[in-house]
Amino acid sequence: MTAPVCSYLGLLDDPEAHLNYPSFENRCYSTIPRESIPLSEQSVFCLGGQYASCPRYMAVHGPPQADQTIEMAPTPIPAAPVVPTASSAPAPPTYAAPAPATQPSTGRDWSLAVILGGMLIGILLCVGSVAGYFSLRALVSALPATPTQPVVVVIPVGPSLTPTSTPTPQESPTITPVTQPTTPTPTPTVDMFATNTPTPDLVNPPPATATRPPATPTRRPPPTQTPRPTSTRAPTPVRTPTYGPVTISFTASRTTIIDGQCTIITWRVTNAKEVYYQGRGVNGSGNSEECPKETTTYTLKVIDRRNVTTTKTLQIKVNPGTPTVTPTHTATVTPWPTATPTATPTPTVTRTATPTPTPTATPTPTATPTPFYVEWSASPSSYEGPNPASIIFTNTGLVADSLLLSLSDRQLPAGWDVKICLVGDDCGPTKTTPTLDPGGVVSVTVRFTIPPGAPAGASGSVRLRANSVKDFGFLLAVSIKVQA
């Protein structure tokens, strides 16, 4: 026999459907929509047929009314329980015989006692329900989301999960314990919750059979948002720089000198990362005047952009100086011729004494050395005009010589640049002219690089320095100024 189910029982998302066993998915729709119900109350009130005694149900419909007056009747002696044997199947539960109907009594009226007792039982049920609800709620919140072991609840249900007439092992709150007297005497029994349908008296249930309990329902996990695939931007390819070969020029104006003389050592390096001359860091292009007292080897170390080191050496040979001989004047005495006496026809010869001439020292002629000096001239001596500037240098000295050209005193606007050019595109911050004989002429161009959009009237100036390679102490400077 299936116990009637409360009409207010429904699911969380469907009030017209419910589960036939206690579950957290079941909800009450009597007073508060979707009100959570403890599992113990579901098994007794909602699914156990005692919904008329439920506090929520009574809040809507009031307490149940008895259809007939209950008189005192002797409590029937419960029948002996049927013990199943191994050879026989479990026997259905045995119920006690219903108590015989009693005639209306003209004794006391128990209606007031029934009402007061029902109210007292209702209050106790409410207090117990609230305490059970909060204790169960605290227990559920303390449990993990997915329990490692299922909680076993012994609920006799069939394979189709439909409640049957087999009583549950839980004690129904509607059963009032009555002390059995040793001598059967008529004892009045009051049914506190009389309903329209007769309630069979329960006897000792048979021992529970080994049936697999249903899995305890778990809370629905919150929906997990699946991340949307995003397009991954391809990395920007990094361009690997390519470097040209390293070019090294390491020369000297003279590799053989006399003690006391000097030489100019010049270097020019391109596509290099670091340049070291005699162990000290220098620019890629430069020169140094060296006046060694003995034969010396000079070193230029170059490190390219691939960290490859190249070393160049240059030896300057020093010869000992030749002493200068000062000519000595030697006096040479030239005798005068001796006078020869000549006879005079006069009878008397008078001799006159002639004084002896004093010898005069004649100096020996000294060889005049050939003049040796360095001299250059520049035309014009200064320049102010349009870009580029052309300067002509003339060797006005007496020896073959060349010039070492460099720039100084730069006063250039932002973005401007200036270089020295000899022939065509042979340009750089420093240049060395070819060796010219006396009277030789060379043209030097000072070219300014002016960025596009330079304001009109902007000007830049620089000083062109020309040092003699033969005599580094000789310096010729030309001031140059150009306008955009």
pLDDT beyond 60 at 160: no
Q: What is the pLDDT, as a whole number, of residue 392?
A: 92
Name the more confident of 302 and 66. 302
Look at residue 382 and tell me if it is in a domain. yes
181 plus 264 within the same structural domain: no
pLDDT tens for each residue of 300-317: 999 998 889 999 999 999
Mean pLDDT, range 100-114, rounded to an integer:
61
Q: What is the CATH number of the domain that holds 417?
A: 2.60.40.1510
Q: Give yes or no for residue 355 having a pLDDT over 50.
A: yes
286: in domain:
yes
The residue range of the domain holding 132 is 1-75+110-213
Domain boundary among 168, 187, 213: 213
Does residue 70 have a pLDDT over 50? no
One domain for residues 128 and 16: yes
For 379-429, write each residue's pLDDT tens digit. Answer: 998 998 888 888 999 999 888 999 999 999 999 998 889 999 987 778 999
How far apart (Å, rounded) are the C-alpha atoms in residues 239 and 473? 50
Among the listed residues 394, 397, 401, 361, the one whose alpha carbon sits nearest the alpha carbon of residue 378: 394
Angle, alpha carbons 330-331-337 (nearest 5°): 145
Q: How far apart are the first and last CA of the chain?
A: 114
Other CB atoms within 10 Å distance of the CB of residue 48: 23
* Confidence band, pLDDT 50/70/90 cuts, at residue 460: very high
Identity of the amino acid at 118: G
Percent of the chain with pLDDT over 90: 25
pLDDT recorded at residue 418:
92
Give a yes or no: residue 333 inside a domain.
no
Residues 52 and 201 in one domain: yes
Q: Are 70 and 128 part of one and the same domain?
A: yes
Mean pLDDT along residues 460-469: 93
**Is the per-residue pLDDT at 159 higher than 50?**
no
**Boundary-marking domain end, from 319, 337, 354:** 319
Same domain for 401 and 451?
yes
Residues 124 and 184 in one domain: yes
Residue 218 to residue 140: CA distance in whole angstroms: 10
Other CB atoms within 10 A of residue 437 CB: 10
Please tell me whether residues 302 and 205 are part of one structural domain.
Answer: no
> 187, 213, 239: which is the final residue of a domain?
213
Pair 204, 255 in one domain: no
The set of residues, in sequence order, having a beta carbon less than 8 Å from that of 411 and lying 6+ positions away, is 460, 461, 462
CATH number at residue 288: 2.60.40.1080
Whether residues 296 and 400 share a domain: the answer is: no
- Res 464 pLDDT > 50: yes
pLDDT at 162: 47
pLDDT bracket for residue 24 (50, 70, 90): confident
Give CA–CA dist 162/48, Å, rounded.
Answer: 12
- The answer to whether residue 414 is domain-embedded is yes
Kindly state whether residue 145 falls inside one of the protein's structural domains: yes
Pair 463, 478: CB distance under 8 Å? yes
Of residues 232 and 196, the one with the higher pLDDT is 232
* Average model confidence (pLDDT) across the chain: 74
**Does 192 lie in the same domain as 307?**
no
- Tally of domains within the chain: 3
Residue 181: predicted pLDDT: 45
Say how far apart CA 130 and CA 302 lie, in whole Å.
92
Q: Is residue 207 domain-shared with residue 251, that is, in the same domain?
A: no
Q: Is residue 332 part of a domain?
A: no
Higher-confidence residue of 140 and 239: namely 140
The answer to whether residue 345 sits within a structural domain is: no
- Distance (Å, whole) CA 249 – CA 269: 6
Contact between residue 470 and residue 411 where contact means Cβ atoms under 8 Å apart: no
pTM of the model: 0.28
Assess whether 183 and 280 both reside in one domain.
no
pLDDT tens digit sequence for 217-267 = 667 777 676 667 666 676 676 666 667 788 999 999 989 998 888 999 999
pLDDT class of 370 with cuts at 50, 70, 90: very low
For 321-347, write each residue's pLDDT tens digit: 654 444 444 444 445 555 455 555 555
Is 456 inside any structural domain?
Answer: yes
